[in-house]
């Protein structure tokens, strides 16, 4: 059985592991299940997750972490093999994932500095990219937005890593990648292809890593409007965890096709749910 496992709110919450989850996933792998981690977070590189998950005792390898930047890079390589240069408006993890897929990457921050220091055209500073990929950029500026918008108006393909409006931090909710995407969309009048949940592309790419059909997977996540919708979009079964953003009242209010196949409040309930789903 393929388990597509969300990270924040399922395996850990902030800096703290959620009790029992890493051990449970290790047991599932030992029993023959496949585990691929899926996250909308566009800030970090896959190796960063591997180090963190391994320290918790979770079964992990770099190819079993499919973040929205990784899925974006894979999608972009497939959808237009002729694209060589990509402008990235986002964090360093986004740039590294695109470079790993063989693209020549220009970071919007670097292009904006060239515009300011060398007084050159924004399109030239961006390297005349074939695609613009937009994620969460903590250093977002008017000039970085301008470089991205100029390239999209010139015909570059517009890809969003995800459309999460907010991003949870220790200081509370901050603007997420979706807020940056919305600014670019408003300024250009162009709607992007969105990769992350609730769109199906992230889960499709994750299932492809192990050569599986996403319809055979079980999505384990804590988000009703992201994880559950993405599972439904690809025809996968789902388990809603109550260890993150969703409450039991919200879960019990779901009706018909909105309902997950199981609801779990902790690792013990998740293990029982997976046993039932595997036998079904």
With residue 219 as reference, give the H or E element that holds it. Answer: strand 217-221
Label residues 87-98 b or e (16+ Cβ within 10 Å = b).
Answer: bbbbbebbbbbb
Full 3-state SS string of 37-87: EEECCCCCCHHHHHHHHHHHCCCCCHHHEEEHHHHHHHHHHHHCCCCCEEE
Catalytic residue (choose from 8, 33, 48, 261): 8
100 is an active site residue: no
| 121 alpha-carbon distance from chain centroid | 32
CA atoms in the 13 A half-sphere facing the CB of 107: 18
Catalytic residue (choose from 6, 137, 164, 227): 6
Structure tokens at 243: 């260890």
With residue 173 as reference, give the H or E element that holds it. Answer: strand 172-175
Structure tokens at 237: 């079964």
23 is an active site residue: no
Q: DSSP state, 224?
A: I
Label residue 14 left, alpha or beta by phi (over 0 means left) and psi (-120 to 50 means alpha).
left
Please tell me the distance from the alpha carbon of residue 2 to that of residue 5, in angstroms, as a whole number.
9
10 Å CB burial of residue 111 (0-12, 13-18, 19+) is buried
Give the residue numbers annotated as catalytic, written as ranges: 6, 8
């Amino acid at each position: 059985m393929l388990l597509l496992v969300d990270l924040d709110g399922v395996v850990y919450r902030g800096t703290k592991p959620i009790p029992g989850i890493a051990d449970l996933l290790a047991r599932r792998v030992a029993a023959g299940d496949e585990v691929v981690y899926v996250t909308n977070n566009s800030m970090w590189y896959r190796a960063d997750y591997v180090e963190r998950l391994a320290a918790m005792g979770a079964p992990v390898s770099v190819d079993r972490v499919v973040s929205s930047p990784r899925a974006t890079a894979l999608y972009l390589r497939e959808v237009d093999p002729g694209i060589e240069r990509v402008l990235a408006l986002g964090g360093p993890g986004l740039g590294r994932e695109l470079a790993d897929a063989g693209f020549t990457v220009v970071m919007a921050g670097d292009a904006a500095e060239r515009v300011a220091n060398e007084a050159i055209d924004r399109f030239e500073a961006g390297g005349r990219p074939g695609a613009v990929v937009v994620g969460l950029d903590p250093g977002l500026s008017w000039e970085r937005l301008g470089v991205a918008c100029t390239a999209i108006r010139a015909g570059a393909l517009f890809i969003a890593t995800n459309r999460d409006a907010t991003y949870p931090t220790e200081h509370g909710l901050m603007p997420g990648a979706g807020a940056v995407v919305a600014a670019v969309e408003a300024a250009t009048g162009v709607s992007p292809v969105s990769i992350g949940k609730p769109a199906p592309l992230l889960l499709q790419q994750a299932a492809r890593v192990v050569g599986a059909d996403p319809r055979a997977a079980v999505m384990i996540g804590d988000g009703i409007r992201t994880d559950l919708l993405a599972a439904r979009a690809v025809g996968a079964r789902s388990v809603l965890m109550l260890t993150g953003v969703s409450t039991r009242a919200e879960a019990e209010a779901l009706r018909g096709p909105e309902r997950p196949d199981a609801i779990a409040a902790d690792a013990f309930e998740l293990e029982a749910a997976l046993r039932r789903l595997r036998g079904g």
